[in-house]
Amino acid sequence: MSGHSKWHNIQGRKNAQDAKRGKIFQKLAHDLYVAAKAGGADPEMNASLRLVVDKAKAANMPKDNIQRALDKASGAGGAKFEEVTYEGYGTAGVAVLVEASTDNINRTVSSVRNSFKHFGGSLGTSGSVAFQFDRKGYLVIDRAENPDLDEDTILEAALEAGAEDVQTSDEAFEIYTEPNDFQTVEAALTEAGYEFADAEVSMIAQNPMAISDEDREKLDKLVDELEENEDVLAVYTTAED
């Protein structure tokens, strides 16, 4: 199936994030947490987690950072972490969804609320924007890195592995799964020899909205500040990138 490329939209932002070492670690910490939460915190028993741990080591992520993410997922280390989701609106009415894991709800909600206020946004109530997103497993095969792969081959392999949909663009093959099927699909395709430019369970905006460059600048600053919060795992918006 051919369609609009989410990968094309997010590449610019990911490249900007990856230019900052802290952003790389923040993304890896999120992926470690999600993989450990879904399949257990032992890399030897969790293939998806093992792949993320290998990525973290390759990026020279400190062992303490890796262990902290695993402790959050498993509840080890004494602290009790709670998963929370905050919803609100940024500039130009863009919906913003913030996923966090915290051992201090009051601290986290205060920090998140202040970030929204700093850039003209507002924190909303539970359910105020979540309906504008779908949770999906999302895997990307970069076509530039795999010039010999064709659409029919990827489509057949992905559907056999249990994927829900495959979208093809000039830049990438984008594979979507139900959240519960993500690890199974990722493991099957990895075993078949496919490598991913990105692989995560993500919140996908149902109807991305176009915004002005000025509003984009404000929104990016809001997202950056939220992502710098150690309690925040991920930030999603309904803005087109």
Residue 10 in this model has a pLDDT that exceeds 60: no
pLDDT tens digits, 67-110: 888 888 887 766 677 889 999 999 999 999 999 988 899 999 99
Supply the Cα-derived Rg of the chain in whole angstroms.
Answer: 18
* The amino acid at 79: A
Residue 102's alpha-carbon distances to 41, 44, 69, 80, 154, in angstroms, are 18, 26, 11, 8, 39
179 exposed, middle or buried (CB, 10 Å; 0-12, 13-18, 19+)? Answer: middle
Token pair, residue 164, equals 């829900």
Q: Look at phi and psi of residue 87 and say left if phi exceeds 0, alpha if psi is from -120 to 50, else beta.
A: beta
Of 116 and 14, the structure prediction assigns the larger pLDDT to 116
Residue 19 in this model has a pLDDT that exceeds 80: no
Q: How do the domains of the chain map onto residue ranges? A: 6-74
pLDDT tens digits, 201-223: 889 999 999 999 999 999 999 99
pLDDT tens digits, 148-157: 999 999 999 9
CATH number of 6-74: 1.10.10.200
Strand segments (E) across 55-152: 82-89, 95-102, 122-123, 133-142
Residue 227's alpha-carbon distances to 29, 111, 202, 220, 230, in angstroms, are 11, 11, 15, 10, 8
Task: Please give the average per-residue pLDDT across 158-176, as a whole number.
Answer: 94
pTM over 0.95: no
Instruction: Give the DSSP letter of residue 180.
Output: G
Token pair, residue 185, equals 């699909």
